[in-house]
Amino acid sequence: MRAVNEDALLAYPPVFLVADGMGGHDAGDVASRLAVEEFAQLAGQPHATSDDVHACFTRTAERIREALDGRPCGTTVSGVAVAEHEGSSYWLVFNVGDSRVYRWVEGHLRQISVDHSVVQEMLDNGALDAEQARSHPERHVLTRALGSGASPEPDYWMIPAGPHDRVLVCSDGLTGELSDAAISEVLGLFADPQEAAQELVRLAVDAGGHDNVSTVVVDVATADAGDTHMTVPRAGAGLGPGAWDEMLDGATVPRARTREI
């Protein structure tokens, strides 16, 4: 139902992300595209560190301020990078805003990222329950976004990569239309990540499509290389018409640091 698609995505190892811009034509769409351009500089590396990712956040914030010249705008950036810590494979999850990162394992869906929003703060302090949050009039009001403040304040998580992991990165256009149960069902029905990503977008559009919808689904496969057991991601992406994206399938060997869960 939106006239302008302000979403952008990147599915190019070792980084997979979704950016949801705010500010309208020539503002929000520019902000999200700049985020993808900066993170795309990591493309082709065997892994990414938390320092690599944070440098992308910093450069993006600077470019948004320069390009938009004080106009009110910004973008969410949520995603996952292939990482390695002490010889083990990890997901480095990062987030600013209310786009989300989920982990799906053997039928169980868990949200990893935490929304930076007024409604999330109300949930945290017990003023709302999950059902009330879905329809709250301030559910789209953010408390953090990239480009809207003096410096970026992303959250980071380090998660050991399991052999059966499936990671979903999505804009709030998906979660605003589909419940977690519906999302989990689709992730379980489609073995191919590209098909899963496209089906999620289709269902969100059919449910009303009140906002731009972008999804990236990343699977873990394993490959033996001599005595080393590697985690190799394969991904698929789904997005509404007009979203700007870069995509490439490929194998990576993970490395990074930050807090672990």
Residue 241: is its pLDDT beyond 60? Answer: no
Sheet with 88-96, edge to edge strand ranges:
155-160, 88-96, 74-85, 15-22, 7-12, 244-247
Residue 260 CA to residue 257 CA, distance in Å, equals 8
Q: Which residue segments constitute the domains of the chain, with CATH numbers given?
A: 7-247 (3.60.40.10)
**Phi and psi, residue 43, nearest 5°:** -55, 135
Query: Do 30 and 67 form a contact (C-beta atoms < 8 A)?
Result: yes
Instruction: Break the chain down into helix, strand, coil percent, rounded to 5.
Output: 30, 35, 40
Mean predicted lDDT score pLDDT of the chain: 83
Residue 229: is its pLDDT beyond 90? Answer: no
Secondary element (H or E) of residue 210: none
182-198 pLDDT, tens digit per residue, is 999 999 999 999 999 99
Q: What is the pLDDT of residue 233?
A: 64
Give the rounded percent of residues in the chain with a pLDDT score beyond 70: 82
Residue 245: is its pLDDT beyond 80? Answer: no
Residue 260: is its pLDDT beyond 50? Answer: no
Which is more confidently placed, 79 or 222? 79
Q: pTM of the prediction?
A: 0.84
- 210-230: buried (b, 16+ CB within 10 Å) or exposed (e) per residue? ebbbbbbbbbbeeeeeeeeeb
Q: Band the pLDDT of 1: cuts 50, 70, 90.
A: low
